[in-house]
Structure 1
């Protein structure tokens, strides 16, 4: 009777938990489709408040009635612009001026010197990114398609922003669908069950819904800034990490079903064994991501909390909702390979990994030396990485309208036309600053903003506009505004005008924003990476109650990270033909690879420690590797596959991040966790737990066990 009542009580508790979560999911589900409504993709708003480009942006507010973002409509005919083409341009300009959101009057069309192109600068009210996109869409509708050899494209900062928003707006559907399909296929292969895949996938979906609610309201209330990049990463991170945690718990549950007759008892034991590792893993990732709050870029500071919320929601769901589902499913959840209550040793179900463990035992020192040298050799490829700010033509994996327009502008005009650098200086030094700026290599022309609000030559009839004792000077660059050449010019321009005594010059504009973003990214990388390593070391020391093991684990993960960067550099350069990586790539790759990579070492070493207490260190290493090898490798494949889903997005930055995480996770699970870490721990023996008492226990047993393992 007591047993029957206990069974019914356990079942009722599980039912109540599942029903409670289903109600939460029903309420939270719709919010996953609303994240795009609270996302922003205005790069300027992500700059630090003390950045020079931010100061310039604040100063510019006094020189204009409205803040504007220019769209550049370029008409090109290689055989020469015809009178009919000019009439069409004039008609389009009249219609552009009537569009809501366009700031009038429009400057007159600019005909190129070779008379093969006409460019129209259309200032758009910079109220918000979505409004800019809508105006750009209307400009493209008015300008129409190519006609009789005359090509028409909308480029410039507004055109680029519109294309980026278009990409990010489409993230939810395709990316979520691809992620779900990838996870489903891998779960079917791993479990070979038509039933079991439902449980982790349902739990991961619940995690994503719960995370979406929190992220939505945080972004809506301006606690964080959500952008399309963070939104895409949230999707793959929740499903990837959630499936990983599910695999670990289900694997341990399957083991305990061999030892316990009742599913509730098996789950209780499995939860006690797996939950600490899952919790420690999740906390490690959360704390590592929250280190991005130290970033000087608002975009990075937003990604940290967004991703951390996703992991937090995933932990909560996987440690409550998933166990209740599995208890209700019982042994039937594993059909047709249902585990029997036979008291079998878990290692008997892991024949392949038991053989790998035996290989590691026989060749421990050789294994870790060879794998370490191999990873170090791959790390040499880092010299081919080359961090740079990707230009507009390099940003997308396909050829967008803004890319085509920028290429046309570069063919017929000074490439910086329509997106000049802006210099703010004192009225007394304006003429000297203008002369100095004109002498900077890479500057095509320099003109002050006049009283009429138009750029023109400084003459008595068009005096410069003075606001609070300052003058705005526009410097047109010879290089495209998002190119490396333009960024070098901005740096040289700043250095030159800052030297003018008493000028108090400030240089801003589209290119200056890119320059300051790149500088902030470099500063963030140098600050955040050491902090992440320190935080992870502390968490590992607390979990493993040792100092040597955490240091070894961090060393192996850093080596794996460098090897990943080296291998990715070769893939990007020689296979994918990418021009380089963005300044933010090394930091994002580090945070995700190290935080997620240390996960697998936590899964392994927490089990190794558990086994070492009972069997001795070397036997514990082999037992831990044997029983966790399959599930951790499966988890790594799932995570790699989910991040590779980022490749469906036509953005080079996200494709590179997806490839890097996928490659790094596979290296970590197949090489580092399967060979390097076990071989190191086995070779060092009990001392790996220094200075805990476990480092001094069972040394004789470990020595005897090691000799037996080598003999086998």
Structure 2
């Protein structure tokens, strides 16, 4: 009877992995149609990134409702170095006439020559595409096809619509190249880490399944709650799935390999591995998700909507790595580790590891190591003072597209005037009074009334100062102060709102992130000192990573500005992901302390046993974010660089040296006020028997 029950139990255990695999196949079949539609709802218009309450957002929304939708603003720039000829002006006029004949323009384009005679610009506006991005891009492409020069005459198509089309082209290129590059980078690192021709495929394939599931869930969020899907947020979601998912896989596979030496059957070894590292993985993923969800408190759309999408990526990676990965590994058995197969009952080769040596040095002089590391991080953080100022529109691309080249030509040929309109939306019944008031505002060069509809009138204002200069910014502020009940928008106003809202979001989101992460750590580690130590460490890493960015962005990369959202986004990601690794280390340290090890021995054992896994995970995560540095937008390059550098600092300096040194120096106080902070009671002497 006992043998029969044992056989039934084994059969059930063999069926569990197949059942999990079947559930995943059903889940992917269910979300497949939705995942395929995610690209259809991706939007990268400026209005999708703007703060919901800003003037410029209201302008963009009202423009969508006016007859013909949002106006497509373009500028045709004809330029010859030695001066335009009569033939050049004839060519320009013929091409503009052809454009007017093929497309519905809001007015007759009139050429504006430059003072030096080298440049002729034609402002062109059309309501033909409305708010549809594909139609806008088609209009810009067709105008670029018509407007061309030869024989030394250069023709460039710029303006807000052309700039949006060029930006959309960069975002469209993120999907495929970013995914392929991420997969390639993770594959190479897994091959080097596992030294197996087969094993690396398993976590990589499972991460791909998790990414597909995340795409389907993200589409569901968009349909249910209207969550904005942008190229940036979708790219970050993919990176988190592969980066965080591979980290969880590394921790699980490492513990599974360890348990295979203790258990004969893979199923039992996997159960032990999940019991051992499952709580740490759940806690770390929960911390990352909580940190990202704090972005919901942001007012900037691009920040706020990145929170749910990032959380979806982390949670889908977690579910895949704690269910699908164990099932596949159990079904494949020990042979998946070939040629380094862990045999049952064997002992791993004893060798002096790098992390054992690092732990020994930290254990001998903990205070000296701690002080030296703190000084180094503080010195690096000073580099943040060298960060470039807020980035301007023309500096957002790594490689200069045609729209930016047109802006530079205009800035050089027309230094005395603005070539970018400021949009004013005012109630239709007050249009005349608004026009009169605008003409009295200092800094205004010209005013033109545009479309009227749905109770609103659009007015185009040209400032005397060049776009995105201090003078134009002052003019926009004066317009907003003078025009009560009207909205002032346009590209330059959008930049002002982005700067203001990012400053507001930092003041709101940063304290919420710190508080939520600290509360989770207190509940997990059952103390106060260890959570404060981890949070302080990741904040120091963030400051040092920003400082390194300040040392290289301008002098080395040649960037002219810093994205306003860099500080907040890098803070959220580095704090959430950095605490992630701290949980791995502290969880093992607590496990050793609970088993009776002395504080110093527990800290060094935790570093020796988890250091390799944390280092591998840190390399993978840093490499996935470093993929962003190969993208075509400066803000993505800056974000990827700061996060990658921060993860490496956290992995190889803070986790290995500083946290370990602090734990050794504090001893049992690191767990204060929990039970582990108290000295154990001395053993009672054995009672001697009384003599008879």
Q: Distance in 2 between matches of 1:408 and 1:38?
A: 35
Cα deviation, 1:661-706, whole Å, max 9, x if unaligned, reads 11000000000011100110111011111111111144889xxxxx
Report the CA distance shift for 1:270/1:70 in structure 2 as closer, same or farther (over 3 A): same
Q: Distance in 1 between matches of 2:318 and 2:563?
A: 31
1:571 is aligned, of 533, 552, 567, to: 552
Report the CA distance shift for 1:320/1:339 in structure 2 as closer, same or farther (over 3 A): same
Deviates more, 1:353-362 or 1:302-311: 353-362
SS of structure 2 residue aligned to 1:575: coil
Report the CA distance shift for 1:665/1:446 in structure 2 as closer, same or farther (over 3 A): same
Q: Which residue of 2 aligns with 1:136?
A: 140
Q: Which residue of 2 aligns with 1:542?
A: 523
Report the CA distance shift for 1:699/1:44 in structure 2 as closer, same or farther (over 3 A): farther
Give the CA deviation at 1:467.
9.9
Deviates more, 1:232-241 or 1:215-224: 215-224
Q: Which residue of 2 aligns with 1:262?
A: 265
Q: Which residue of 2 aligns with 1:656?
A: 638
Cα deviation, 1:77-116, whole Å, max 9, x if unaligned, reads 122222322232223223323446x434442233333332
Are 1:294 and 2:297 matched, yes or no? Answer: yes
Give the CA deviation at 1:27.
5.5
Report the CA distance shift for 1:62/1:275 in structure 2 as closer, same or farther (over 3 A): closer
1:372 is aligned, of 371, 374, 377, to: 374
SS of structure 1 residue aligned to 2:488: strand
Report the CA distance shift for 1:526/1:700 in structure 2 as closer, same or farther (over 3 A): farther
Q: Distance in 1 between matches of 2:66 and 2:331?
A: 68
Aligned runs of 1:328-339 on 2, under 5 Å?
Answer: 328-339=331-342
Deviates more, 1:470-479 or 1:79-88: 470-479
Please, which runs of 5 or more residues in structure 1 have no aligned partner?
Answer: 455-464, 702-712
Q: Distance in 2 between matches of 1:427 and 1:35?
A: 41
Report the CA distance shift for 1:138/1:221 in structure 2 as closer, same or farther (over 3 A): farther
Aligned runs of 1:315-326 on 2, under 5 Å?
Answer: 315-326=318-329
**Matched residue pairs, number?**
674
Report the CA distance shift for 1:499/1:269 in structure 2 as closer, same or farther (over 3 A): closer
Cα deviation, 1:350-386, whole Å, max 9, x if unaligned, reads 7332232222221222111111111111111111124
Q: Distance in 1 between matches of 2:197 and 2:32?
A: 25
Q: Which residue of 2 aligns with 1:393?
A: 394
- Is the contact made by 1:277 and 1:603 (CA closer than 8 Å) also made in structure 2? yes
Aligned runs of 1:189-208 on 2, under 5 Å?
Answer: 189-208=192-211
SS of structure 1 residue aligned to 2:554: helix
Q: Distance in 2 between matches of 1:616 and 1:11?
A: 41
- Is the contact made by 1:32 and 1:209 (CA closer than 8 Å) also made in structure 2? yes
Are 1:622 and 2:622 matched, yes or no? Answer: no
Are 1:80 and 2:61 matched, yes or no? Answer: no
- Is the contact made by 2:287 and 2:520 (CA closer than 8 Å) also made in structure 1? yes
Q: Which residue of 1 aligns with 2:581?
A: 600
TM-score for both structures, normalised by structure 2 = 0.92
Give the CA deviation at 1:533.
0.5
Cα deviation, 1:465-517, whole Å, max 9, x if unaligned, reads 9997988461334313xx3x1xx3354224434565x8556432221111111
Q: Which residue of 1 aligns with 2:18?
A: 15
Report the CA distance shift for 1:666/1:61 in structure 2 as closer, same or farther (over 3 A): closer
Cα deviation, 1:579-612, whole Å, max 9, x if unaligned, reads 1211111111111111111110011111111111
Q: Distance in 1 between matches of 2:138 and 2:623?
A: 35
Are 1:492 and 2:494 matched, yes or no? Answer: no
Report the CA distance shift for 1:613/1:98 in structure 2 as closer, same or farther (over 3 A): farther
Q: Distance in 1 between matches of 2:249 and 2:648?
A: 19
Report the CA distance shift for 1:368/1:109 in structure 2 as closer, same or farther (over 3 A): same
Give the CA deviation at 1:61.
7.2
- Is the contact made by 2:291 and 2:516 (CA closer than 8 Å) also made in structure 1? yes
Are 1:233 and 2:230 matched, yes or no? Answer: no
Aligned runs of 1:304-319 on 2, under 5 Å?
Answer: 304-319=307-322
Are 1:507 and 2:511 matched, yes or no? Answer: no
Q: Distance in 2 between matches of 1:663 and 1:51?
A: 34
- Is the contact made by 1:604 and 1:625 (CA closer than 8 Å) also made in structure 2? yes
Q: Which residue of 2 aligns with 1:461?
A: none
Q: Distance in 1 between matches of 2:291 and 2:338?
A: 38
1:524 is aligned, of 481, 486, 505, to: 505
SS of structure 1 residue aligned to 2:446: strand
TM-score for both structures, normalised by structure 1 = 0.89
Q: Distance in 2 between matches of 1:179 and 1:340?
A: 33
Are 1:43 and 2:46 matched, yes or no? Answer: yes
Give the CA deviation at 1:418.
4.2
Q: Which residue of 2 aligns with 1:588?
A: 569
- Is the contact made by 1:417 and 1:477 (CA closer than 8 Å) also made in structure 2? no
Give the CA deviation at 1:244.
0.6
Q: Distance in 2 between matches of 1:206 and 1:697?
A: 48
Aligned runs of 1:392-411 on 2, under 5 Å?
Answer: 392-411=393-412
Cα deviation, 1:116-158, whole Å, max 9, x if unaligned, reads 22222222434122321121111112223x4111111111110
Deviates more, 1:325-334 or 1:416-425: 416-425
Q: Distance in 1 between matches of 2:92 and 2:682?
A: 89
Deviates more, 1:358-367 or 1:634-643: 358-367
* C-alpha RMSD of matched pairs (Å): 2.6
- Is the contact made by 1:686 and 1:695 (CA closer than 8 Å) also made in structure 2? yes
Q: Distance in 2 between matches of 1:33 and 1:318?
A: 23
